[in-house]
Amino acid sequence: MIITGSLLIVCVMLLLGVSVYIAFGSVLMFIALVGDQSISGYLPTGSTGIRSLVLLAIPLFMIAGGIMEKGKIAAPLVSLAQMFIGHIKGGLSAAGVLACGVFGSISGSANATLTCIGGIMMPHLKKANYPKGQSAALIVAAAPLGLLIPPSASHILYGWVAQQHVLKCFLSTVIPAFILITLLILTNQFLLRKHHDIILSERPTPFMPTFVRQGRLAGPALMMPVIILGGIYGGIMTPTEAAGIAVVYAVPIAIYYYRGLTWKTMATTIQTSGVTIGVVMVMIFMVLIVSDNLIAQGAPALAKQMVYSVSENPIVILLMINVVMILIGMLMDDISGLLLATPILLPIAQSTGMDPIHFAAVIGVNLGMANITPPTAPLLYLGAQVCDVPVSRMLWPTLIFITFAWLPTLMLTTFIPELALFLPDLLLGD
């Protein structure tokens, strides 16, 4: 009764428009009213949960993302990508997708990726007569690459909740990310076939001097993933220390090299990031308490029982898990969704023989897709603001990108475990 009631309350509250953390708070209120657990355990559970060095990587990457966003670090990355493929039809939009991938590997955040790359790419795309709605939808669909290409905040959280190797979780979505990039570009090319009025940029001649100049400009930004990922995978730093180094590295290059920030605006940027961090951490605090209570009530066993009552076929079970995760992702943000879904769905996935690292990839792709799936698609609405295109014009192309790029990536990731496990096994062993 408590589990059903809790899920019902969360859904009703979220549909009503109550803040996500309040929706979880109302579940706690409900459990306190009908359950037999003491409310004195709420605060220790939540505060002990968020008192984690691993978790500290999330706010640090958010600060780093905020500094890069305001520090104009993304512009040279876009110019570099544009140099190579801007002269081909569809090349400019493909450059946007690639830039999302590169920037995602620096910031680890879909929001920061969308704001930076969308803001820079859209004026170029509009100028070159690319269809506005489709281009904005493409950037929106590519922004969650920030969640798939390491470092990723959601994987840090997953590794922490599921007690898995964070570095393996990071690597699990690299191949799916490349598949997604390819499918997004191909789908976009197909959609562009009837647009004959696109203005193509000329290939810079002579190419090499321009390349060297652009490369020098983009160099410090491109060094960032090298430092972060090299530090982590080289065993020099933990993900949290790497996140701290990312901030320490981003500050001087944003101020003195790219001149996008001053020391004064730096404080404001950190404050703005601090507010976003507060929003996320208070949600994590609440979801941890709710999740703990639901586990105590036997929610994982009940969910497993329900799933197995429908079918015992692993393929059907994995499809059902995906459907549930998509629904969760459509209702709440990726962090809350991950915290709630992992303890309940991971045992079910494992019962079908799925590796927890494989599940990290599935949940990563799933929640990335949920971020752009209507009706509650946070990135879609943010994209409309950033790209200055009405949501209605973006809706149809977004659905096409979901159907022909995201869904196939999700299915491939779910049913071909090697896509998720090959790199972790190769680089970090069993």
Partner 1 sequence: MSNSTDELPADVSDESGERLIRITDELPQFIGAPMNWMLFGMKAIVTISGFLMAFTFGAVVVIRYGFGGDLFAYEEWLLAISIVGFFAGAVLASERKLHINADILSIVISDPKLIWWRGFAVLVIELLVILFIVYACYISLLDDFSFPRLRATPVLRIPFVSWRIAIMIAFSFMAMFSAAYLYVHIRQGLGLPLKSDTPKGAAQ
**Which tokens hold the place of 325?**
């995760």
For residues 283-302, which are near partner 1 according to CB under 8 A?
283, 285
Distance CA 203, CA 92 (A): 12
Residues contacting residue 233 through CB under 8 Å, at least 6 positions apart: 167, 427
CB count within 10 Å of CB 310 equals: 10
Three-class DSSP category at 257: helix
Please name the residue that has the structure tokens 């959601």: 154
Site string for partner 1, 302-331 (x = CB under 8 A): -----------------------------x
Tokens at 88, concatenated: 């081909």
- Segment near partner 1 (CB under 8 A), from 24-32, 149-157, 197-205, 399-407? 24-32
CB of 367 to partner 1, least distance (A): 12
| Span interacting with partner 1, options 79-87, 341-349, 373-381, 416-424, rule CB under 8 A | 373-381
Q: How many residues bind partner 1 (CB under 8 A)?
A: 66
Restricting to residues 139-178, which ones interact with partner 1 according to CB under 8 A?
none
Q: How far apart are CA 44 and CA 308, in angstroms?
A: 35
Contacts of partner 1 in 29-68 (CB under 8 A): 29, 32, 38-44, 46-47, 50-53, 56, 59-60, 63-64
Q: State how far the Cα of 94 lies from the Cα of 412, in Å rounded to an integer.
A: 22
Spell out a b/e string for 260-285, using b for 16 or more CB atoms within 10 Å of the CB, else e: bbeeebbeebeebbeebbeebbbbbb
Helix axis angle for 119-127 and 378-387, nearest 10°, is 60
Selected from 88, 186, 217, 279, the binder of partner 1 by CB under 8 A is 279
Exactly one of 8, 208, 226, 236 binds partner 1 (CB under 8 A); that residue is 236
Pick the piece of the chain touching partner 1 (CB under 8 A) from 28-36, 126-134, 166-174, 404-412: 28-36
Site residues, partner 1 (CB under 8 A) = 13-22, 25-26, 28-29, 32, 38-44, 46-47, 50-53, 56, 59-60, 63-64, 231, 236-237, 240-241, 243-245, 247-248, 251, 267, 270-271, 273-279, 281-283, 285, 331-333, 375-378, 381
